[in-house]
Amino acid sequence: MVDAAGFQLEDVTVRFGTVRALDTVSLDIAPGSAVGLVGPSGGGKTTLLKALNGSQPPTSGRVRVAGRALGEVSRGELRGLRSHIGFIHQGLDLVPNLRVAHNVIAGRLGQMGFARSLGAFLFPSRAVLREVHGLLERVGIEDKLFERTDRLSGGEQQRVALARALFQRPTALIADEPVASVDPARARDTVELLARISREEGLTLCMSLHNLDLARGFLPRLVGLRAGRVVFDRATRSIDDATFDALYALGARNGRAEDAATELREPPPIGEARLDGG
């Protein structure tokens, strides 16, 4: 078990030109809890996830990780914080012509100096390879250690990306639409694996999903985003179909969508916001 990192967003706004990707968003994600982000495309989910790990600085507002304001730390401290946040991108960001072992090892390079990271990457020790093999075994692809990554299926590549994130020895996992490119059966397996490993390791988990059935099945707390604003933030079991329909309605206006769910904004009870199968 690790000391999981918590996240706080305080009135965070992110602008790209005249567009507000996030609009005065406040959110508290407790250490060791699991949260899903849902909402239509362009709603701000990816921008919010990038704000959590410091790769997208806010235009205004404050982001805290493990109690530390990202805008107030040095570049070295920010790099250290980010190196312990496992981020699984929608495109996975694997190097296709590298072997699986090397893609996984790349997960920890941000925690080393250049010379040390180069040596660890090019000439991994037996101990490192044993650790990588153990992670691959945990995600169910232990026989792929020396396989070229581009020869794996989409589902297997997702598991490589998860193993790489776990190799960072993270305090939190962030996943941006991790099942966007696989079939429904493999999508369910992947989300279940992310939720289970996060629970077993005591990691904070924040994941964006378009598949509402998966979000409702594996994440105890959901945050609905539309046009960069939080529409609801509730325990999953308390959200009815009408609330989801309003979030995704094509004709909904931003203000009306938010007004319709104002009563749903209060954070869920702590017991419901954790990865306890609730």
pLDDT on residue 122 = 75
**pLDDT for the residue 154:** 84
Query: pTM, whole model, 2 decimals?
Result: 0.82
pLDDT value of residue 269: 42
pLDDT of the chain, 278 residues: tens digit per residue: 557 889 999 999 999 999 999 999 999 999 999 999 999 999 999 999 999 999 999 999 999 999 999 999 998 888 888 888 999 988 888 889 999 999 998 887 766 655 566 666 777 888 889 999 999 998 889 999 999 999 998 889 989 999 999 998 899 999 998 887 777 878 888 899 999 999 999 999 999 998 899 999 999 999 999 999 999 999 999 999 999 999 998 655 444 334 443 434 444 443 444 444 44
Whether residue 14 contacts residue 22, with contact meaning beta carbons closer than 8 Å, is answered with: yes
Say what the pLDDT of residue 151 is: 93
Alpha-helical (H) ranges within the chain are 45-52, 75-82, 100-105, 114-122, 126-138, 154-167, 184-201, 212-218, 241-248, 254-260
Contact, 78 vs 53, CB < 8 A? no
pLDDT at 150: 92
Complete domains list, the chain, with CATH: 88-169 (3.40.50.300)
Positive or negative: CA dihedral 49, 54, 57, 62? positive
Looking at residue 2, its pLDDT comes to 58
CB 160 within 8 A of CB 146: no
Cα angle 191, 27, 68; round to 5: 100
> 51-105: per-residue pLDDT in tens?
999 999 999 999 999 999 999 999 888 888 888 899 998 888 888 999 999 999 8
